[in-house]
Chain A
Amino acid sequence: MTAAPATAPKRQRGGRPTANSADTRTRGPRQSVMSRSAAMLIMGVFTLYFLTPIWWLLTTSTKTGGEITSTAPLWFTADSLGTFFGNLGRLFSYGDGLFGRWLLNSALYAGVGALIGTIIAAMCGYALAKYEFRGREAIFNIVLSGVLVPATALALPLFLIFSQVNLTNTMWAVFLPSLVSPFGVYLARIYAAASVPGELLEAARLDGSGEIRTFFTVSTRLMAPALVTIFLFQFVAIWNNFFLPLIMLRDQDLFPVTLGLYAWNSQISQIPELRSLVIVGALVSILPLIIAFLALQRFWSSGLGAGSVK
């Protein structure tokens, strides 16, 4: 997220004369100490602003229910580590290991959903970019307008439709709607148009490769950074999706982790001991997102830079 590529090449491209190029290498052109420290200060403040809640989550998850209110909110207690593992143990054992089940559900909805969703979006965007056919623009515009419709607004119509075919309260009810990603199609089309040369496809055709084979062996490789980005977006969107499962699901065993934690949270007034479980659960539930980001970061950040320099 934070890995900004070196900016030196860009500046040179900017056409600025190389008179002070030595200066450029060391600390950038005409950057006064003042403006630099101001920038650092602003960045520092914002970093603090964004990281404080996560820090709070981390410290608070090492406390028992009572300690949450009676100890310093942003620092650990004497017995932090023991309490943390105690909380973790209770989290996974509460309600016959319900939380583990929710994590698995989320992983299934988000992992498989994002994977299939990415493939569909990639194929769709690729077709729109690389094939000439009637109604191409019309289809693209319709898909694009789908970006504008908030998923929340679609949840209730979807519920009524799924009720008709008796699919509510099943995994399919959450899984199927998450396969479509208009934004993914848009991104795939733009990227395919820019990064998959038509000449390469012609060459592949001349060599006797079928369209499907070309797509999977040649084009997807070229589109890889875009695909990773789409996957990541989809993964995060499905993982954080809350309203659709809330409407569709009644059976606790089918809940994703977001809805499960929400359900627990709404029961705190009845069972206050859930408070610490909700907090530890929230911490655990963001770990997969962090892992996904860190693991895939080099793919998509390199993808963002690709094409900027010729």
Chain B
Amino acid sequence: MRAHYGKVTAAFAMISALALSGCSAGGDSSEAGAEAVPCEASEGPVELTFTTWVPGMDQVVELWNTENPDIQVQVQTGPNGNSGTYQNFFNQIQAGNAPDLGQIEYDALPNFRVQDGLENIAECEGIADAQDQFVDWTWGQVTFGEEGSVYAIPQDSGPMAMYYRADLFEEAGIEVPTTWEEYAAAAEQIKAQGSYITNFPKTDVNWFAGMVWQNGGQWFANDGESWDVNLTSPESEEVATYWQDLLSKDLVSTLPSFSDEWNASFNTGQQWTWVSAVWGATTLSDGAPDTSGKWAVAPMPQWEDGGEAAGNWGGSSTAVLKGSDHPAEAAKFALWLNTDPEALALANELGGLYPRGDVGHRTRGLRRRRRVLRRAEDLRRLRRRFREREPRLHLGPHDDADLHGRLGRIRCCHRWLRHPDGRSRERTAEDRRLARIAVHPRLRVVPAPLPDLPRSAASRKGRGASRVDGVLLQCAEPVEARLQHAAFPPTTPSPCTRAADLRQDPLRPRPLGCNRLAG
């Protein structure tokens, strides 16, 4: 409650302060956005501060400090990002005394970008060349597809897989599902046994994003000038419909995630599977100790038979925060932290980080998680697959409350997709909701042209018939709007002009911002 109040007041203070600074700074800031600031090394010994909440990070930094007497890093710890540290970063950036480096999760990074809270370190030594050391999609998360921009160094990721109770599946003679279709069928069989196949996490937006991710959905895209927001693409809707169906038939439970109740349901065999990130094994081994050794891990069920797609849940980066006096040294440290094999191994062991760089994928670790798993080689195989997986979903700037609220709506709307028409062209209410995203003075909402959709009398009748239906119907509307961001200066012609090429070769990695045209 208190934290919430703080968030609100902080947000107000921030918005008003940004509005003020926006007036005074004017054009200068927009120019600075495009080209990376020259990154020169400071003279003499440097002291950096690094705020993180990853356990054991102080020991990793200790390693750096002994090797680099001239660049000493001091670690500061606090609650994890969304529990207050991000808000503190914003306050500190505002007050001009932010730490040099900060731990920022991928879903929060764009918020820092649009509020001008990050230093562009692209010009710093070795940064541009470092791209090869990271998986493409992680690099995409820290550059936002802007030319000549790098705002953070990728750190860890949370590739997803399916943990399942091998013993229970064997006993019941149920095949371990490999596709979502089989998964739904297994859910019914398991329900007949008095258990649930899994729990639908009502509050984990990023879990849902991982599901959409696997299906190739795209929520946010940036073409260098503006952001496309699209929460109801066919891919997203397919995922939502699928889970809605399971929910309506009561084939999945809806316990609050990570609660004791939830842990107990795993421990007592009430849940047979958990589609979760690589860090999920630790959660299971601690929350469900009685089931130790009974779990196995398999790839996520696929939408297409024989598919190899996986999603991602979680992960963070090391960002150089605005106002750092020593961006060059900070960038150097961030790069070391996320590419040095020794540092990665240590971070993996102590903090349980699943590294995001290619380098990281080769390190040892994951030992702690194996004890819960029956077949450790599964995890090794999966790791290889995660590395090769094609990047899909990119996270974008959002008003947290709004995005969460909207997804909350999607989740709450039990009947939403079963509306006879499912779509409507009316989008005034949606526009109004989008306008709320644009409370930020630098963001502007421009409605995007909507696809021409059939508008049956039934849908209007549905709207009129019940107020509840009216709300439900809004959920199914295509949420498309372009959030134009004034701070992004015009760049080279949009890569989206090549949309035709993309259509011909769907496997080719899409440049950011082209989803709407290409899809």
Which chain B residues border A153 with CB–CB below 8 Å? 5, 9
CB distance from A160 to the nearest CB of B (A): 5
| Those of B301-326 within 8 Å (CB) of chain A | none
Type the 1/0 row for B274-313, where 1 means its CB is closer than 8 Å to any CB of A: 0000010011011111100000000000000000000000
Q: In the assembled complex, which residues on chain B have CB atoms less than 8 Å from the CB atom of A263?
A: 53, 77-79, 83
Answer whether residue A2 sits at the interface, using C-beta atoms and an 8 A cutoff.
no
**Is B453 positioned at the interface, with any CB of A under 8 Å from its CB?**
no
Complexed CA–CA distance, A159 and B352 (Å): 33
- Segment of B39-47, B257-265, B392-400 in the binding face: B257-265
CB-CB contacts of B87-100 with A at 8 A, as 1s and 0s?
A: 11001101111010
Known contacts A243-B2, A271-B55: does B287 contact A69 (CB below 8 Å)? yes
- Enumerate B437-483 residues with CB–CB distance to A below 8 Å: none
- Chain A residue contacts of B65, Cβ below 8 A: none
Interface extent on A, as a size class?
35 or more
- Which of B6, B49, B286, B290 has the most A CB atoms < 10 Å from its CB? B286
Stretch of A26-34, A179-187, A244-252, A301-309 on the interface side: A244-252
Residue of A nearest to B351 (CB): A270
Partner of B79, one of A156, A169, A246, A251: A246
A70 touches B267 (CB 8 A): yes
Tell me whether A159 and B91 are in contact (CB under 8 A).
yes
Say whether A65 faces chain B, with CB atoms less than 8 Å apart: yes
Q: Given B13, B49, B96, B283, which contacts A269 in the complex, CB threshold below 8 Å?
A: B283
Docked complex: B33-63 residues within 8 A CB-CB of A: 49, 51, 53-55
Bound Cα distance from A70 to B261, whole angstroms: 10
* Contact assessment for B83 and A262 in the assembled complex, using a CB-CB cutoff below 8 Å: yes
Find out whether the CB atom of A246 lies under 8 angstroms from the CB atom of B283: no
* Dominant secondary structure at the A interface: helix
In A145-202, the 8 Å CB interface with B consists of 150, 152-153, 155-156, 159-160, 163-164, 166, 168-169
Query: Among B3, B88, B279, B352, which residue has its beta carbon within 8 angstroms of that of A250?
Result: B88
Chain B residues near A70: list those with CB within 8 A: 264, 267-268, 289-290
* Any A CB within 8 A of the CB of B80: yes
User: 8 Å CB contacts to B: which residues of A235-267?
Assistant: 242-243, 246-247, 249-252, 259, 262-263, 265-267
The size of the chain B interface, using a CB distance under 8 A, is: 45
For residue B491, CB closer than 8 A to chain A, the reply is no
Check: A68 CB closer than 8 A to any chain B CB.
yes
Contacts of B260 in A (CB 8 A): 68-69, 73
CB of B517, distance to nearest CB on chain A (Å): 38
The yes or no answer to A272 lying at the interface (CB within 8 A) is yes
Contact of A262 among B13, B79, B258 (CB under 8 A): B79
User: What distance in Å separates the Cβ of A184 from its nearest Cβ neighbour in chain B?
Assistant: 21
Closest Cβ neighbor of B87 among chain A residues: A247
Min CB–CB distance B253 → chain A (angstroms): 15
Asked if A152 contacts B5 (CB within 8 A), the reply is yes
List, in ascending order, chain A residues with CB within 8 A of B77's CB.
250, 252, 263
Whether A250 lies near B6 (C-beta < 8 A) is: no
**Which residues does chain B contribute within 8 Å of A8, judged by CB atoms?**
none
Quick check: B264 and A69 within 8 Å, CB to CB? yes
Question: How distant is the Cα of A219 from the Cα of B351 in the complex, in angstroms?
Answer: 57
Take A268-B258, A272-B282, A272-B286 as given contacts and tell me if A69 and B6 are in contact as well, using a CB distance cutoff of 8 Å: no
Which of these, A68, A242, A271, contacts B2 with CB under 8 Å?
A: A242
Are A69 and B263 touching (Cβ within 8 A)? Answer: yes
Within the complex, what minimum Cβ distance (angstroms) separates B53 from chain A? Answer: 6
Cβ–Cβ contact B54 & A163, under 8 A? no
Q: Would B6 and A246 count as touching, CB distance under 8 A?
A: yes
B61-93 CB contact bits vs A (8 Å, 1 = yes)? Answer: 000000000000000111110011001100110
Q: How close is A238's CB to chain B, nearest CB, in angstroms?
A: 15
B55 touches A156 (CB 8 A): no
CB distance from A257 to the nearest CB of B (A): 14
A69-B260, A246-B79, A270-B279 known; A163-B95 Cβ under 8 A: yes
With both chains docked as a complex, state the minimum distance between the C-beta of A22 and any C-beta of chain B, in angstroms. 53
Complex Cα–Cα for A206 and B283 (A): 74
Q: In this assembly, does B114 line the interface, its C-beta being within 8 Å of a C-beta of chain A?
A: no
Closest Cβ neighbor of A152 among chain B residues: B5
B contacts, CB < 8 Å to A: 2-3, 5-6, 9-10, 13, 49, 51, 53-55, 76-80, 83-84, 87-88, 91-92, 94-97, 99, 258, 260, 263-264, 267-268, 279, 282-283, 285-290, 351-352
A-B contact pairs, 13 of them (CB 8 A): A66-B267, A152-B5, A164-B95, A243-B3, A246-B6, A246-B79, A247-B87, A250-B76, A250-B78, A250-B99, A265-B79, A267-B80, A270-B55
Known contacts A246-B88, A269-B283; 9 further A-B pairs (Cβ under 8 A): A160-B91, A163-B96, A243-B6, A247-B6, A252-B76, A262-B84, A263-B83, A270-B54, A270-B55
